[in-house]
C-alpha cells in the first residue's frame, strides 16, 4: 500500500492456480515431480510427498486444526466440506441439519452441490433443480450497502434478517 505494507493476494479466478506467472522454479519442481510420480490418487492411499505436504500444511493451522484432505479443485473442496458437515451431524444424531449458508454473488464451483450454493443465477439456471438446503446471505461489505451509511450495527441486523 502507500505506506509500504505488503499484502499477499490470495484471490484466484475460475479454473486457475494462484502461483504466479512464468515462475521457473515452479516449472522445474513440477518437472522433477513428474519424473518421480506424475499422479497418484490419494482417496485411499498416500505417498511420501503427499504425507510430507499434509504435515507441512497442518503445521500452519492454528490449534488442533491438523487434518488435511486433498481434493482436485475448489468445487470438489466445497462438496467435500459440505458432505463432512452433513456426516458430522448425522453421527451426532442430528441428521436433519443439512442447510448451508453462502454469500450472495459468490462462485463456489460447478459440481451440483457447489453450484447450488453459488450466488450467480445465470450459472445455475441451466441445471436446476439443484441440491436443496442452500441459503444466501448478503456480502458483508458495508461499503457496498449505501442505504445503511456508516451504521455497521444496522447493516448487521439487516444482514442477519436475510437469513
DSSP string, 130-157: --S-EEEE--S-GGG-GGGTT-HHHHHH
H-helix or E-strand containing 29? helix 24-36
Rounded Cα gap, residues 103 and 119, in angstroms: 7
Residue of 9 and 40 predicted with greater confidence: 40
Residue of 163 and 115 predicted with greater confidence: 115
> Is the pLDDT reported for residue 32 higher than 80?
yes
pLDDT, mean over the chain: 86
pLDDT of residue 54: 92
Amino acid at each position: 500500500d502507500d505506506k509500504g505494507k505488503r499484502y499477499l493476494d490470495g484471490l484466484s479466478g475460475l479454473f486457475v492456480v494462484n502461483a504466479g506467472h512464468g515462475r521457473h522454479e515452479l516449472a522445474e519442481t513440477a518437472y522433477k515431480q513428474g519424473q518421480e510420480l506424475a499422479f497418484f490418487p490419494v482417496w485411499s492411499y498416500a505417498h511420501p510427498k503427499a504425507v510430507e505436504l499434509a504435515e507441512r500444511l497442518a503445521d500452519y493451522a492454528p490449534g488442533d486444526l491438523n487434518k488435511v484432505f486433498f481434493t482436485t479443485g475448489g468445487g470438489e473442496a466445497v462438496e467435500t466440506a459440505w458432505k463432512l458437515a452433513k456426516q458430522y451431524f448425522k453421527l451426532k444424531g442430528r441428521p436433519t441439519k443439512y442447510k448451508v449458508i453462502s454469500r450472495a454473488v459468490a462462485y463456489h464451483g460447478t459440481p451440483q452441490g457447489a453450484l447450488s450454493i453459488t450466488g450467480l443465477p445465470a450459472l445455475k439456471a441451466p441445471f436446476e433443480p439443484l441440491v436443496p438446503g442452500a441459503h444466501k446471505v448478503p456480502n458483508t461489505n458495508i461499503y457496498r450497502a449505501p442505504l445503511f451509511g456508516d451504521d455497521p450495527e444496522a447493516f448487521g441486523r439487516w444482514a442477519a434478517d436475510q437469513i
